[in-house]
A and B are shown apart, each in its own frame.
Chain A
Amino acid sequence: MAVDLAERAKLGSSLWTDQRFRGLLLQALTIGLAGTFLAFIVHNTAHNLAERGIASGFGFLDVQAGYELKNTLISYGPTNTHGRAFLVGLLNTLLVAGVGVVLATVIGFILGVLRLSPNWLLSKAVYCYIEVVRNIPLLLQIYFWYAVMISLPQVRNAMDLGIGAYISNRGLQAPAPILEPGFSIVPVALLVGILIAIGLSRWAHKRQEATGQRFPSFWINVGLIVLLPVVAYLGAGRPMSFDVPKLGAFSFRGGFTITPEFVALLLALSLYTAAFIAEIVRAGILSVSHGQTEAAYALGLKPRWTMRLIIIPQALRVIVPPLTSQYLNLTKNSSLGVAIGYAELVATLSGITLNQTGQAVECIALTMAVYLTISLMISFVMNIYNRRIALVER
């Protein structure tokens, strides 16, 4: 210690050569700069808004919206507020993003595996498909799928699916279930089924760990989850009826509708993202050294089991982090739905509401905050999953 102090005294520059001090100074400067910058912006914005007589604040969310949206997840009409329209948009964003993530993952894994197929033609065809989809802007692909959707038969010549459901370029019109009193037993039964299934698989897993014997829990679980609600439904005397769509003067009335805008956006988003996921999956599988496969074969595992037990778990470690990015991208890209009239967040809050109220700062800030929240949540969940599958070095 004494030497250190003496050394420092000899150098004559007490603080400046101290790494810790320099670090603190640098950070203080950074904070100062960032703070000043922020204050500068806030001050200017407030000044400019006041100067130009632009109203600010989120009061506009309580004002009557005055525009109509259809096929919303919650009831909505033109007499509702902008706040409710915002909620409608948010739910639609979540819907298309949620379904899109699942669909993109499934398609992406299938494409990724097909890409590695020994069949030359198949592998090349998938390669061409992936390259085409990856290298064309998503907006154009959304237009393309919308054009495909609206070239389905017109409503008068709608395809009859036979169960009271119809497909036309107005979308899929299907019977909507009407729940009658007594139906509540069905979801309860479903819940019970799921709980039992979870317990059963735990027990089966433990038994296998302990004794090495396998218990065919999968099919029993499926049976439990499907059959219990069905039995409950029948037992309660079928407490459900259907509102079947009927052709009216213009189009179908009644039932529920899956709009072509939703389907087009969903297809474009999932196929676009699936192309990226396919490449990620391929890279993940390729990242597992060939020696692993050979070792598995040497142990006598069949190719299917090698894939399931050896390759995929190792590949997942490489796959999951970029997969998270793709999920985030898909969610954010759903904001392009406004181009084809899907009433998501950017179409409602940052679209019509912004146009009508002129409160650009608030609308955009709110939109960004919502997307940021969704993204952080996805990241959070995926990080937990990633930690679970990460390689545990012993």
Chain B
Amino acid sequence: MKLTRILVAAAVVTALTAGTAAAQSTLENVKSRGQLKCGVSTGLAGFSQPNAQGKWEGFDVDYCRAVAAAIFGDPDKVAFTPTTAKERFTALQSGEIDILSRNTTWTLSRDVQLGFEFVGTDYYDGQGFMIRKDMGISSAKQLDGASVCIQTGTTTELNLADFFRSHNMKFEPVTIDTSDQAREAYEAGRCDVYTTDASGLAAQRASMADPSAHVILPEIISKEPLGPLVRHGDNNWGDIGRWVLNAMITAEEDGVTSKNVDEMKTSSDNPEVKRLLGVEGEMGAMLGLPNEWAYNIIKSVGNYSEVFERNVGVKTPLGLERGLNALWKDGGILYSPPFR
């Protein structure tokens, strides 16, 4: 009887105090769990947004689905964890999520000090300004003394302060927690200027009662390379995140789309396409993934262009042009290292 009691106690103690057992890699964890845990935004038009059917959709969401497709061959094996700006980093640090795909700007301090690894840039953004047309302002440099509505929790506040300081101008910040309140304050005339990432400005303007009464100023005051990030230390997991993104870009470069991927797989003569789709080489095995990983991504989620156009492109309410996010050969700066 006594022995049993000691045994049970020992078991419980071992179960509660971890550390002895060797930590599993993130990929193994994800595989054994059967689900990818992906942190997204609680609501950002075009990037991550619950639709009326209760499904997450958007640009950032599709990246998570692509990772799930690469690992499981099934884009639906993702548990989305909505995160706010404040808790996103701790959620990733504490291991609650495997990957954070939440319009997060790649900065040095986040990469180094917070212990993260950005796997790449999936969207090149920049901070812009919107202002009422009847103010007669045509440049951000005329904004001395203006009051500016900002949504908190981003690099926005810092960029703004830097911009005004470097041009020796003053401003009155109205720093609000959520975008809907910030936008409402702007539309009511509480602020002269509304500032956020350029990707958000277009959608905000289009949904005004009278879009023609507002203009977006030409200046983009910051570089905002937005990308997914993972924890430092598990390089294989970072590689998977990086090459999922690269696979989507390469697929666009080589003209592989979700519609023609089956056909390309059998008939393409392009060696890179063959390697990408797992017909030749062992690219998947190197990453610890099935060899058809990229095929699965493209088949079920699509290439970069498809994802872009579906969520934020010109036919969506956001109506964004590719701009910087076009391929390098189309005048943008998207560039994937080769698949070999």
Task: Please determine if A and B sit in direct contact within the complex, based on CB atoms under 8 angstroms apart.
Answer: yes
Which stretch of B40-48, B84-92, B122-130 is in the interface? B84-92
Which stretch of A188-196, A266-274, A317-325, A346-354 is in the interface? A346-354
Which stretch of B31-39, B188-196, B218-226, B283-291 is in the interface? B188-196
Whether a CB of chain B sits under 8 angstroms from the CB of A115 is no
Whether a CB of chain B sits under 8 angstroms from the CB of A96 is no
A355-B153, A358-B110 are known; give 4 further A-B pairs, CB within 8 A: A68-B160, A251-B145, A341-B181, A352-B153
CB pairs A–B below 8 angstroms (18 shown): A54-B115, A55-B113, A66-B158, A66-B161, A67-B158, A67-B160, A69-B175, A78-B161, A150-B190, A260-B190, A340-B176, A341-B149, A347-B177, A351-B86, A351-B152, A351-B153, A355-B153, A360-B90
Whether a CB of chain A sits under 8 angstroms from the CB of B93 is yes
Asked whether, in the complex, the Cβ of A54 is within 8 Å of the Cβ of B86, the reply is no
A150-B185, A352-B152, A360-B90 are known contacts. Are A251 and B161 too (CB-CB below 8 A)? Answer: no
- Interchain nearest-CB distance for B23 vs A (Å): 10
Whether a CB of chain B sits under 8 angstroms from the CB of A170 is yes
Asked whether, in the complex, the Cβ of A354 is within 8 Å of the Cβ of B86, the reply is yes
- Within 160-193 of B, Cβ neighbours of A (below 8 Å) are at 160-162, 164-165, 171-178, 181-182, 184-185, 188-190, 192
Q: How far is the CA of A169 from the CA of B149 in the complex (A)?
A: 13
Asked whether, in the complex, the Cβ of B189 is within 8 Å of the Cβ of A169, the reply is yes
Q: How far is the CA of A328 from the CA of B242 in the complex (A)?
A: 50
B-side contacts of A347, CB under 8 Å: 152, 175, 177
Asked whether, in the complex, the Cβ of B90 is within 8 Å of the Cβ of A67, the reply is no
The 10 closest A-B CB pairs, nearest first, are A53-B115, A150-B188, A341-B176, A78-B161, A67-B157, A154-B189, A150-B190, A250-B146, A68-B161, A70-B172
- Interchain nearest-CB distance for A335 vs B (Å): 11
Q: How far is the CA of A350 from the CA of B84 in the complex (A)?
A: 13
Whether a CB of chain A sits under 8 angstroms from the CB of B310 is no
Whether a CB of chain A sits under 8 angstroms from the CB of B232 is yes
Question: Which of A55, A68, A150, A355 touches B189 (beta carbons < 8 Å)?
Answer: A150
**Interface class of chain B by DSSP:** mixed
Question: Nearest chain-A residue to B142 (Cβ)?
Answer: A249
- Interchain nearest-CB distance for B101 vs A (Å): 18
Q: How far is the CA of A384 from the CA of B290 in the complex (A)?
A: 72
Residue total for B at the interface (Cβ-Cβ under 8 A): 48
- Interchain nearest-CB distance for B146 vs A (Å): 5
A169-B189, A260-B190 are known contacts. Are A338 and B177 too (CB-CB below 8 A)? Answer: yes
Asked whether, in the complex, the Cβ of B181 is within 8 Å of the Cβ of A248, the reply is no
Question: Which of A54, A261, A339 touches B174 (beta carbons < 8 Å)?
Answer: A261
Q: How far is the CA of A347 from the CA of B162 in the complex (A)?
A: 20
Asked whether, in the complex, the Cβ of B86 is within 8 Å of the Cβ of A355, the reply is yes
Whether a CB of chain A sits under 8 angstroms from the CB of B81 is no
Asked whether, in the complex, the Cβ of B176 is within 8 Å of the Cβ of A339, the reply is yes
Q: How far is the CA of A66 from the CA of B159 in the complex (A)?
A: 9
Whether a CB of chain B sits under 8 angstroms from the CB of A222 is no
Question: Which of A47, A143, A249, A352 touches B175 (beta carbons < 8 Å)?
Answer: A352
A150-B189, A170-B147, A260-B190 are known contacts. Are A341 and B175 too (CB-CB below 8 A)? Answer: yes
- Which residue among B145, B149, B182 has the maximum number of chain A CB atoms within 10 Å of its CB? B145
Asked whether, in the complex, the Cβ of B192 is within 8 Å of the Cβ of A251, the reply is yes
Q: How far is the CA of A192 from the CA of B63 in the complex (A)?
A: 71
Q: How far is the CA of A260 from the CA of B109 in the complex (A)?
A: 35
Residue total for A at the interface (Cβ-Cβ under 8 A): 43
- Interchain nearest-CB distance for B262 vs A (Å): 43
- Interchain nearest-CB distance for A128 vs B (Å): 28
Q: How far is the CA of A363 from the CA of B269 in the complex (A)?
A: 58
- Interchain nearest-CB distance for B50 vs A (Å): 20
Q: How far is the CA of A180 from the CA of B295 in the complex (A)?
A: 78
Asked whether, in the complex, the Cβ of B181 is within 8 Å of the Cβ of A143, the reply is yes
Asked whether, in the complex, the Cβ of A352 is within 8 Å of the Cβ of B181, the reply is no
Asked whether, in the complex, the Cβ of B110 is within 8 Å of the Cβ of A250, the reply is no
Q: How far is the CA of A70 from the CA of B154 in the complex (A)?
A: 18
Whether a CB of chain A sits under 8 angstroms from the CB of B231 is yes
- Which residue among B110, B158, B164 has the maximum number of chain A CB atoms within 10 Å of its CB? B158
Whether a CB of chain B sits under 8 angstroms from the CB of A356 is yes
Whether a CB of chain B sits under 8 angstroms from the CB of A204 is no
A-side contacts of B113, CB under 8 Å: 55, 358
B-side contacts of A150, CB under 8 Å: 184-185, 188-190
A-side contacts of B333, CB under 8 Å: none
Asked whether, in the complex, the Cβ of B145 is within 8 Å of the Cβ of A248, the reply is yes
Question: Which of A68, A147, A350, A355 touches B171 (beta carbons < 8 Å)?
Answer: A68
- Within 49-69 of A, Cβ neighbours of B (below 8 Å) are at 52-55, 66-69
B-side contacts of A352, CB under 8 Å: 152-153, 157, 175
Asked whether, in the complex, the Cβ of B86 is within 8 Å of the Cβ of A340, the reply is no
Question: Nearest chain-B residue to A361 (Cβ)?
Answer: B90
- Interchain nearest-CB distance for A174 vs B (Å): 16
